[in-house]
Amino acid sequence: MAGRPRSIDREKVLDAAEAIVAQTGAASLSFEAVAKAADITKSGVQYCFGTKENLIRSMIQRWGESFDRDVMERIGADRSARSIIRGHLEATRDSDEAEYSRSAVMMTALLQRPDQVAASREWYTSRLSGLDMTKKADRDAALAFLAGEGAFMLRTLGLIDLDEAQWNALFADMLSIVR
Amino acid sequence: MAGRPRSIDREKVLDAAEAIVAQTGAASLSFEAVAKAADITKSGVQYCFGTKENLIRSMIQRWGESFDRDVMERIGADRSARSIIRGHLEATRDSDEAEYSRSAVMMTALLQRPDQVAASREWYTSRLSGLDMTKKADRDAALAFLAGEGAFMLRTLGLIDLDEAQWNALFADMLSIVR
DNA sequence: TCCATTTCAATACGGTCGTATTTATATCGA
DNA sequence: TCGATATAAATACGACCGTATTGAAATGGA
């Protein structure tokens, strides 16, 4: 029993939601705002995602999977902790202006109940789980990872100003640590 | 012409606001919630701070000044960029559980319009402004600073799990870089 | 063709929020 | 004591939000 064919592209809706958060802040993320940005109706958004919590969950999930694919493509067969961190750093380094969706998504999640970030928590924790923090070499890798995250967050949030040369130089330093 | 004496403690109101953000998220920060937590009325909060934007601005300002005092106490007469970063790292390292107000305040600001962070922007930028990023030694200091910020943010946001031994070991590494 | 079904739009509703307005309370100078 | 004034509470208002409900449009099978 197939009914009316789908005319709303979920991906486009998620794009619109990300754009709203990135441009006007997570506070202004609403069904109505997303609908207007995606050029559909508020009810259409609700029909596609049900609740706002589910919309946010979808945003997180899509971005996490996307970033993971990027990381895995960069590293080869070597799936060690240090290798994954290296891929993570490279992916972060190359994230262009338009791809600030990551921080946008994080902000959105954190805006809601703090425990909403549980999904991303596993994602982040896994990055460090393979390291033995009692060993200096592994701590160095963790330090490089944390520096990359700090640089990324502070820059995407507009809290520090790094031009491209500084950005690349810093990530080159981080990558030389994990290699 | 002195009128009715003040009975509301602004500091207590700010404490309540921080606690709300830290515990239930920035989304639930409202005059009414703050009033209830501070055991006064919604109108009292409004009278003290005028607008919500001003309340948030007050939160940011108070925390920034508090953290700066902490940093300046830790470093002596040496006000070089590296010395300030060292003090910053130490202050971050010693920030106890109860003093998660920093991330709480940041989240609150970022929740509003993104340009709301302009005040904090200057604060962060000044941390790196004294460094010459073309010199490896200065980049190392910047890297340590960024690692500290990354560790702090990810931990306060509940995205990574570091026990006290790991936390202290990482900050010891960072501090050894800037010294 | 007609009905079941899926998809989405229209509309409505209860709740909360920030703020404006009005009222009450407490102090000091005259 | 009596305004004038500063402080805070009470109340009200308009806007927006998330969601529930209802209705319309488009498909396929009987």
B85-102 CB burial, b ≥16 within 10 A, e <16: bbbbbbbbbebeeebbbb
* C-alpha Rg value of chain B to the nearest Å: 18
Query: Nearest nt (C1') to A47 (CA)?
Result: C8
State how far the Cα of A70 lies from the Cα of A90, in Å rounded to an integer.
9
* pLDDT tens digits, A131-158: 999 999 999 999 999 999 999 999 988 8
Q: Which two tokens stand for residue B154?
A: 């990810």
Q: Which residues of chain B have pLDDT under 50?
A: none
Asked whether the beta carbons of A16 and A38 are under 8 A apart, the reply is yes
The whole-number average pLDDT for the span A26-50 is 97
- pLDDT for the residue B102: 74
Q: State the pLDDT at residue A167.
A: 97
| CB-closest option in B121, B133, B170 to A139 | B170
Q: Does the distance separating the beta carbons of B117 and A159 come in below 8 Å? A: yes
Residues A35-41: what's their mean pLDDT? 97
Judge if the beta carbon of A89 is closer than 7 A to nucleic acid strand C.
no
pLDDT at A102: 74
Kindly list the residues from chain B whose CB atom is less than 8 angstroms away from the CB atom of residue A117: 157-159
Round to whole Å and give the CA distance between A5 and A19.
27
How is residue B97 annotated by DSSP? G
Q: A111: closest CA among B69, B25, B30?
A: B25
The proportion of chain B whose per-residue pLDDT surpasses 70, expressed as a percent, equals: 93
Rounded CA separation B152/B134 (Å):
26
- Answer yes or no: are the C-beta atoms of B58 and B49 closer than 8 Å: yes
Angle of helix B31-38 versus helix B42-49 axis, rounded to 10: 110
pLDDT of residue A79: 95
Residues of B in contact with A160 (CB under 8 A): 121, 124-125, 127-128
Confirm if B167 and B93 have CB atoms less than 8 A apart.
yes
Query: 3-class secondary structure for A4-63?
Result: CCCCCCHHHHHHHHHHHHHHHCHHHCCHHHHHHHHCCCHHHHHHHHCCHHHHHHHHHHHH
| Size of chain A in residues | 179
Which residues have C-beta within 8 Å of that of residue B83, sequence separation ≥ 6? B75
pLDDT at A120: 79
**What are B21's two structure tokens?**
């953000």
* DSSP notation for A46-108: HHHHSSHHHHHHHHHHHHHHHHHHHHHHHS-S--SHHHHHHHHHHHHHH--GGGTHHHHHHHH
- Read off the pLDDT of residues B53-101 as tens digits, 9 standing for 90 and up: 999 999 989 988 999 999 999 999 999 999 999 999 999 999 876 667 7
Rounded Cα distance between A89 and B39, Å, is 47
Mutate to test the interface with B, among A160, A168, A171, A178 (most CBs of B within 10 A): A160
The Cα B158–Cα B171 span in angstroms is: 18
Nearest to B25 among A111, A157, A170 (CB): A111
User: Stated in angstroms, how far is A109 CA from D28 C1'?
Assistant: 41
- Work out if B42's Cβ lies within 7 angstroms of strand C: yes
Name the residue with tokens 């989240």.
B107
Q: CA of B35 vs C1' of C16, distance in Å?
A: 15
Which residues contact residue A118 at a Cβ distance below 8 angstroms, ignoring those fewer than 6 apart?
none
Q: What is the pLDDT of residue A114?
A: 67
> How would residue A113 be classed by pLDDT, with cut points 50, 70 and 90?
low
Query: At B42, which helix (H) or strand (E)?
Result: helix B42-49
Measured over the CA atoms of residue B77, residue B82, residue B86 and residue B92, the dihedral's sign is positive
Alpha carbons A41 and A48: distance in angstroms, whole number: 11
